[in-house]
Amino acid sequence: MGQEESHTEEMDLARIQELCVIFMKECPSGTLHLHEFKKIFGGSSSAVEESLFMETIFNSFDTNQQDNTLDFQEYVAALHLILRGNLEDRLKWSFKMYDKDANGKLDRKEVKQFVRILYKIKLQKTNISMNPSQICDRIFELVDQNNDGEITLSEFMEGAQKDEWVSNLLKLDVNATGWVIQNCRR
């Protein structure tokens, strides 16, 4: 966590400006559509899980949720969060992405759905010995303080900050800086 996080925090302004130039080049209209987002950030894979992950990220940054596009401001805010955001901001963003019904609470279905996606994309390639259901159960065991079967934002934040395993999983930090640098067109 430490080295990767410091690498993320050290993402310099020049690189962010370069990514903004790419936005203007790829999207002269000033708006970024999902297919363009995938093209810029390397989501060309035909894997269903990766495509769903990219769509979820895209939708989380489409703050007006009316036009299915990212305008330049939304794009810059997304870059700032991904590349320079602190742990608290990333956790809030992650919670928003998990909370599909936007009711301010995560139920097992929402968490399990996202864990399945993360499992297929990255966790399956690690030495983790748990399946998605077991991972979901462990998250609830460690984070659901009142055992009501739902995780509130405050439980989510506290749980992720108390346990490094939970934090690494919940903050959706898939080495975002490296991901952007490797997948962004030059």
User: Residue 70: inside a domain, yes or no?
Assistant: yes
Query: Side chain identity at 148, as an amino acid letter?
Result: D
The verdict on residue 56 lying in a domain is: no
Confidence of residue 6 (pLDDT cuts 50, 70, 90): very low
Is residue 140's pLDDT more than 60? Answer: yes
Mean pLDDT of 28-43: 79
Domain co-membership, 70 together with 94: no
* Mean confidence (pLDDT) of the chain: 77
Same domain, 145 and 159: yes
The boundaries of the domain holding residue 66 are 2-47+61-85+175-183
Identify whether residues 106 and 145 lie together within a single domain. yes
Q: Is residue 15 part of a domain?
A: yes
Highest mean pLDDT among 2-6, 91-95, 102-106: 102-106
Q: Are residues 95 and 81 in the same domain?
A: no
Residue 2: what pLDDT? 40
**In this structure, are 162 and 179 located in the same domain?**
no
* Highest mean pLDDT: which range of 14-23, 112-121, 155-164: 155-164
Q: How far apart are CA 64 and CA 74, in angstroms?
A: 9
SS (HEC) of the chain: CHHHHHHHHCCCHHHHHHHHHHHHHHCCCCEEEHHHHHHHCCCCCCCHHHHHHHHHHHHHHCCCCCCCEEEHHHHHHHHHHHHHCCHHHHHHHHHHHHCCCCCCEEEHHHHHHHHHHHHHHCHHHCCCCCCHHHHHHHHHHHHCCCCCCEEEHHHHHHHHHHCHHHHHHHCCCCCHHHHHHHHCCC
Q: Is residue 54 part of a domain?
A: no
For the chain, how many structural domains are there in total? Answer: 2
| CATH number of the CATH domain containing 101 | 1.10.238.10
pTM of structure: 0.70
pLDDT band for position 155 (50/70/90)?
A: very high
* 77, 114: one domain: no
Is the residue at 125 inside a domain? yes
Q: What is the distance between the alpha carbons of residues 36 and 50, in angstroms, rounded to a whole number?
A: 15
